[in-house]
Amino acid sequence: MSTENASASSVVEDSAAPGQATRLEQTNPDYDPNVVVETQNLTKIYRDFWGRQKVRALNALDLEVRKGEIFGLLGPNGSGKSTTIKLLLGLLFPTSGRALVFGKNATEVTKNERIGYLPEESYLYKFLTAEETLDFYGRLFDMPAAVRKERVESLIEQVGLTWAKRRQLKEYSKGMTRRIGLAQALINDPELILLDEPTSGLDPLGTREMKDMILKLRDQGKTIIMCSHLLADVQDVCDRIAVLYQGDLKELGRVDSLLQVSDETQIRAKNLPDAAAEEIRAVIAKHGGEVLSVDNPRTTLEELFLDIVRESQARPGHRSSGVDSN
Amino acid sequence: MVVERFPDFYQWIGPGALQFLGILIAASLLGLFIGYVVSVFRHGPFEAFYVVAQVIGEAVPDFLGLSFRRLVAIARLTAKEALRRRVLLVTFAIFAAMLLFGGWFLNSASEHPDRIYVNFVMWGTQMLVLLMGMLVSAFSLPEDIKNKTIYTVVTKPVRASEIVLGRIMGLGAVCTALLALMALISFFFVWRGLSHEHQIVGDTQTLASFVDVDQGTRKSRFTARRVSENAVMEAQTTRESGHSHRLELVEDIRDADSPPLVASNVVDSVELPGGRVKYRRIVCLPVGGHTHPVKVVGEGDDARIELGSSVGYFRARVPVYADSLRFRDREGNLKDRGTNVGNEWGYRGYVDGGSGAIRSSLARGLFRFSGFRESLFRRPDVVPLDLSLSVFRTYKANVEKRVMAGLEFESIPDNPEVDNRFVSDMITFETNEYTLQTLPIPRKVVGKLLAPDGAIVGQGEYDLFDDYAKNGNLMLNLSCRDSGQYLGVARADIYFRAGDTLYWLNFFKGYVGIWCQLMIIIAMGVAFSTFLNTPVTMLGIVVMAILGFYSQFVRDLTLPDSDGGGPIESFIRVITQQNMQVSLQTGVLTTLMEQADKLLVWLLAGLTYLAPDFSQLDFSSFLTYGYSVDPQRLIVALLITVAFISGLTILGYFALKTREIAK
């Protein structure tokens, strides 16, 4: 076990070793330790002062997030993603249904000892420095001073802000703020991390770093729930997704199986002569198939940008010729 | 004027605790009811029971699981946040301006400039810090919710109780620091404003500047007022801080073995036949509650006379009050109240001086002291007795001559039927009407020892502590020695002065009261802002503060025998233009209305106890009139503060816990 893990588990008294249920959870006979989050018929209706319904933000959501997976909540703005996250955190109370985290009611404060949360905007105290910020959140987890100090230093280094750790957050750029926001979400080495639009406002490089960090956390055995309306982000990192639209669950499943088009076959090859391509077309026609396209696959814009950045970092001063590659 | 004595701690704690318990139970029931009603709207009547029970069930572990580290973290953050806001800076700037320019308008030439100075700084500080406390607390949590920074706090294992209490602690810490600074500056402001020195008007600072007293009129050549009995010469000082003093050279003839206690003001002494000595001393007569120590350097007529800095302003007297005051009428019958002299009779009871026909009135004011021990007094050899007596004259008499009064000390035997008792001879003195006067009571008082049947057993000088108050109990009998006149006294009008405490310490003790008020206002602001927005929170605090400052008045309004009936009856009288004294027509409706009024008044009377009684937390009168703040009152004030902070923390906890932060 790493030092970080050791320190965090000493701090979070109520949390148990991975795979083990806490004393409280053991009293719940229905609790499955592999199910980290469970919602049952979860509904949220916003009402006005007089109790009249304004909007039905979430409608009878049934979900189960299992231990060690990255679960994506996908949907356009106003689809109920953030509402779901807030209900899981106890920031909102369900109108009906239940939200259970680690088998406990989402409004119970003790569950927060095992949770990390990165809000959509990094709602941090701008007058604090990065060090003070993490120290403050560490204190909220009742961490002893020595453990807190070690953890703060390690996280600041992990998110690459060592050079700016004594600057007030009001001087930080959006990307830096997101990084320190992620660091505060990880201060307690949580088992479950909830990320609300984690790549929002980040440049492509920052987005990639964030996604790499999410995958790394998953590899460390953490469970991650993220919500985003950026398809590429979800596609890249999520194991399973739920697609929400106007508060209703429209789709739920593994990303690879959801994106797989079972009645289409894509052929990708390298250094193939034109004659061979013609032969392949002929074979497809012989078996009654319809050729949609056989062409050179394109990389994504994000990939291209990252290649350029990597190239620029490897060969400083190199400039493009300015001639259209086509 | 004296400061009223408050029931001591042991008298207060029992009823106080019961009242607190009653309010707690009533507030809990009210809270449960409101919580259930709100829950019914959200979840329906059956689910509401479960929800309310769950919230209450979680409250116990939430309070037991309070973490000191989390509390300190939230308190520190809140303090930093508050310091960033300009409210504290602006408050201090206004305070500084108040002292810089306010000094111009303070009348140093008034009769009691010390009272004006102390009142000015205390009232100014109180208003400023309470306003500051209201602003910082009303903005603190709502700003955090508005900026959504609270999201990253409540999603950590932080209890709602920690958020509320941590905020109260943080805001309390910064406001306390500012209040302490203001108190320190105020102290130096008062000190500097009142300290002054005088010179003697004349060519020299010697007896050459003195003039002889007009022995014919015995009136001062400077002020045209009576001079002291033994004065032979007089002089005047320069005018400083709006006043000047008169100096008198008095001739003081004493036994050789009892020289004056203060020797520094003696000009010379001459031995007289019969073992007596005539001392010539210079005395500076007091003005506005202060005087200046006189120091004579050298001897004889050429001796240099120096006047020191003002003394008498900065007092913190420790009074020893009587436990009870009862009266005897002119026939000697025991009464709870003094003679009724009309409108003035009420607070004070009057002691009858008798009439021309009955010269020997038996009327007395009986002050019973218990726990009267030598250890209470700093200088038990001479015990100062302070009196503020009022006089009711039935005839004008000689206005120059003041009404005479008499004092007797009497022991209170444990077993009056068996034990002898000491009764002192009467000590007569001229009363200073309505003005504080001090009688030095020697430890040895001439009197008699009487057997239970009244027979004289002994006669001579008896010890005040070892004889008269041997068992700690002492009776002081006050009588009026002028027939046809009356002396008015209340229990707090006569007290023994045990000594003085340090003025600066007493000054800061006075600010503890303001601190208590400040902390309650902050706690209110934080608690209210858990469920109200900033403007409504401020309005709520203002209403509670007004109720706090005028709590007695508001409680009096809810007394059942108010003219014009309760709120409904009053309203009906207003709209039907009926006189308050006219009885309403009897009938079912009137009966219903009266019963509804009774219920409303009962509820309103109960609600007034939810607001703090700020008069119990106000020690400014102690400082203004130069009394030491009673430590028991300090304890009472601190307990009241703790009780309110606890109650408001619980209110804030439930309001925050049941609030949807992200809504």
CATH code of the domain covering residue B479? 2.60.120
- Res. A14 pLDDT band, cuts 50 70 90: very low
Asked if B69 is an interface residue toward chain A (Cβ–Cβ < 8 A), one would say: yes
> Using the beta-carbon criterion (under 8 Å), do A139 and B149 form an inter-chain contact?
no
Task: Judge whether B154 is closer than 8 Å to chain A, CB to CB.
Answer: yes
pLDDT score at B1: 44
Instruction: Write down the pLDDT at residue B564.
Output: 76
**Pair B188, B146 in one domain:** yes
Which of A24, A46, A93, A126 is most worth mutating to test chain B (most B CB atoms within 10 A of its CB)? A93
What pLDDT, on a 0 to 100 scale, did the predictor assign at position A26?
Answer: 40
Check CB contact under 8 Å for B149 and A123: yes
Q: Is B561 part of a structural domain of the chain?
A: no
- What is the model's pLDDT at position B407? 92
Rounded Cα distance between A250 and B48, Å, is: 32
Average pLDDT for A48-64: 85
| CA dihedral for A10, A15, A18, A23, sign (positive or negative) | positive
> What domains are defined for chain A?
3-259 (3.40.50.300), 264-318 (no CATH)
- Measured between CA atoms, the residue of chain B closest to residue A194 is B155
pLDDT tens digits for range B517-552: 999 999 999 999 999 999 999 999 999 999 888 888
Residue B537: DSSP 8-state: H
Asked whether residue B228 falls in the same domain as residue B356, the answer is no
Write out chain B residues lying below 8 Å of A149, CB-based.
none
Q: Give me the total of CB pairs closer than 8 Å, taking one residue from chain A and one from chain B.
A: 80
Q: Which is more confident, B56 or A52?
A: B56
Q: Which of residues 9-48 of B touch A (CB under 8 A)?
A: 41-42
Tally of domains in chain B: 4
Residue B319 has φ and ψ, to the nearest 5°, of: -85, 150
pLDDT at B598: 86
Cα B636 to Cα B623: distance, rounded to the nearest angstrom: 18
Determine contact: A140 vs chain B, CB below 8 A.
Answer: yes
Sign, CA torsion A219/A220/A226/A232: negative
In a domain, B1, yes or no: no
Helix, strand or coil, per DSSP, at residue B205: coil
- Do residue B117 and residue B224 come from a single domain? no
The residues pairing with B460 across neighbouring beta strands, listed in sequence order, are B447
For B58, name the nearest residue in chain A, comparing CA atoms only.
A108
Residues of B in contact with A110 (CB under 8 A): 157
What is d(CA B539, CA A95) in angstroms, rounded to the nearest whole number? 32
pLDDT at B344 (0 to 100)? 65
Nearest chain A residue to B157 by CA: give it. Answer: A112
- For residue A152 the two structure tokens come to 């703060």
pLDDT of the residue at A306 = 64
> How far apart are the C-alpha atoms of B279 and B255, rounded to whole Å?
10
Q: Which domain holds residue B94?
A: 67-194+502-553+616-657
The answer to whether residue B589 is domain-embedded is no
B54 and B135 in a single domain? The answer is no
Neighbouring-strand partners of residue A262? none
Q: Are residues B334 and B472 in the same domain?
A: yes
Residue of A91, A110, A115 with shortest CB distance to B151: A91
Together in a domain, B51 and B76: no
What's the pLDDT score for residue B222? Answer: 84
Among A95, A128, A141, select the one facing B156 at the smallest CB separation. A141
Between B397 and A151, residue with greater pLDDT: A151
User: Do residue A123 and residue B152 have CB atoms under 8 angstroms apart?
Assistant: yes
A281 to chain B, closest Cα gap in Å: 58
- What span, in angstroms and rounded, lies between the C-alpha atoms of A257 and A253? 7
Confidence band, pLDDT 50/70/90 cuts, at residue B175: very high
* Span B138-155, average pLDDT: 92
Kindly identify which residue of chain A lies nearest to residue B41, measuring between CA atoms: A51
Task: Looking at the structure, tell me whether residues B27 and B135 fall in a common domain.
Answer: no
Q: Is 50 exceeded by the pLDDT of residue B207?
A: yes
Q: Is residue B3 part of a domain?
A: no
According to the model, what pLDDT value does residue A304 have? 56
Distance between B23 CA and the closest CA of chain A, angstroms: 29
B469/B490 same-domain check: yes
Q: How far apart are CA B81 and CA B538, in angstroms?
A: 19
Does residue B591 sit within a domain? no
pLDDT confidence of residue A4: 39
Task: Say which residues have a Cβ less than 8 Å from residue B522's Cβ, sequence separation at least 6.
Answer: B133, B136, B137, B168, B171, B172, B175
Query: Which residues from A are below 8 Å from B72, CB to CB?
Result: 139
- Does residue B587 sit within a domain? no
Rounded to a whole number of angstroms, the distance from the CA of B149 to the nearest CA of chain A is 5
Domain endpoint, select from B500, B534, B567: B500
At residue A84, the pLDDT reads 93
Residues of B in contact with A86 (CB under 8 A): 662
Span B104-111, average pLDDT? 76
Closest CA to B194 of B91, B72, B311: B311
Q: How far apart are the CA of A136 and the nearest CA of chain B, in angstroms?
A: 6
Residue-level pLDDT at B358 = 61
pLDDT, position A15: 39
| Model confidence band, residue A252 (pLDDT cutoffs 50, 70, 90) | confident
- The radius of gyration of chain A's CA atoms, rounded to the nearest angstrom, is 23
Q: Which of A215-219, B4-8, B253-257, B416-420 has the lowest mean pLDDT?
A: B4-8
The arithmetic mean of pLDDT across residues A162-186, rounded, is: 91
Q: Write out chain B residues lying below 8 Å of A48, CB-based.
A: none
Instruction: Quote the pLDDT of residue A17.
Output: 40
- The per-residue pLDDT of chain A, averaged, comes to 80
pLDDT digits (tens, 9 = 90+) for B193-202: 888 889 998 8
Asked if residue B100 has pLDDT above 50, the reply is: yes
Antiparallel, parallel or unpaired: β B266-272 and A223-228? unpaired
Mean pLDDT of the residues in chain B: 87
Average pLDDT score over residue span B482-501: 88
Q: Does A139 touch chain B (CB under 8 A)?
A: yes
When pLDDT is cut at 50, 70 and 90, the band that residue A115 belongs to is very high
Which residues in chain B are contacts of A124 at CB distance < 8 A? 149, 152
Out of B246, B278, B307, a domain closes at B307
Q: What is the mean pLDDT of residues B354-368?
A: 79
Using alpha carbons, select from B86, B374, B160 the residue that is nearest to residue A91: B160
* Confidence at residue A309, expressed as pLDDT on a 0 to 100 scale: 64
What span, in angstroms and rounded, lies between the C-alpha atoms of B386 and B321?
10
Q: Which residues pair with B1 in a beta bridge?
A: none
pLDDT at B562 over 80: no
- For residue A11, pLDDT over 60 is answered with no
- All residues of chain A having their beta carbon less than 8 Å from the beta carbon of residue B663 are 46, 92
CA distance A123 to chain B (A): 5
For residues A115 and B155, the answer to whether their CB atoms sit within 8 Å is yes
A92 touches chain B (CB under 8 A): yes
**Cβ within 8 Å of A, B 89-128:** none
Find the mean pLDDT for residues B456-484. Answer: 90
CA distance B120 to B588: 56
For residues B72 and B58, state if they share a domain.
no
- Assigned token pair, A126: 């701008």
- What's the 3-state SS for chain A? CCHHHHHHHHHCCCCCCCCCCCHHHHCCCCCCCCEEEEEEEEEEEEECCCCCEEEEEEEEEEEEEECCCEEEEECCCCCCHHHHHHHHHCCCCCCEEEEEECCEECCCHHHHHHEEEECCCCCCCCCCEHHHHHHHHHHHCCCCHHHHHHHHHHHHHHCCCHHHCCCEHHHCCHHHHHHHHHHHHCCCCCCEEEEECCCCCCCHHHHHHHHHHHHHHHHCCCEEEEEECCHHHHHHHCCEEEEEECCEEEEEEEHHHHHCCCCCCCCCCCCCCHHHHHHHHHHHHHCCCCCCCCCCCCCCHHHHHHHHHHHHHHCCCCCCCCCCCC
Closest CA to B523 of B604, B608, B611: B611
Beta-carbon count within 10 A of B625 CB: 19
* d(CA B490, nearest CA chain A) in Å: 57
Spell A227-243 as b/e; 16+ CB within 10 A means b.
bbbeeebbebbbbbbbb
Residues B261 and B217 occupy one common structural domain = yes
**A chain contacts of residue B81, beta-carbon cutoff 8 Å:** 125, 127
How far apart are the C-alpha atoms of A161 and A165, rounded to whole Å? 6
**pLDDT at A321 exceeding the cut of 50:** no
Q: pLDDT-derived band of residue B473, with 50, 70 and 90 as boundaries?
A: very high
CB within 8 Å of A320: residues ≥ 6 apart: none
Per-residue model confidence as pLDDT tens digits over A146-166: 999 999 999 999 888 999 999
Q: Which of residues 642 through 661 in chain B touch A, CB cutoff 8 A? A: 660-661
Residues of B in contact with A127 (CB under 8 A): 80-81, 84
Note the pLDDT of residue B448: 93
For residues B518 and B646, membership in a common domain is answered with: yes
A115 at the B interface (CB within 8 A)?
yes
Q: B72 — contact with chain A (CB < 8 Å)?
A: yes
Average pLDDT of the residues in B289-300: 84
Assess whether pLDDT exceeds 90 at residue B303: no
* A89 interfaces chain B, CB cutoff of 8 Å: yes
Taking alpha carbons only, the member of A254, A302, A260, A257 closest to residue A70 is A254
Residues B276 and B371 in one domain: no
Instruction: Identify all chain A residues contacting B73, using CB atoms and an 8 Å cutoff.
Output: 136, 139-140
Residue B554, φ and ψ in degrees, nearest 5 = -65, -40
* Total number of residues shown for chain B: 663
CA distance B154 to chain A (A): 8
User: Predicted confidence band at A305 (pLDDT cuts at 50, 70, 90)?
Assistant: low
Q: What is the pLDDT of residue B263?
A: 78
Q: Say whether A140 and B151 touch across the interface (CB within 8 A).
A: no
What does the pLDDT read at residue B331?
Answer: 84
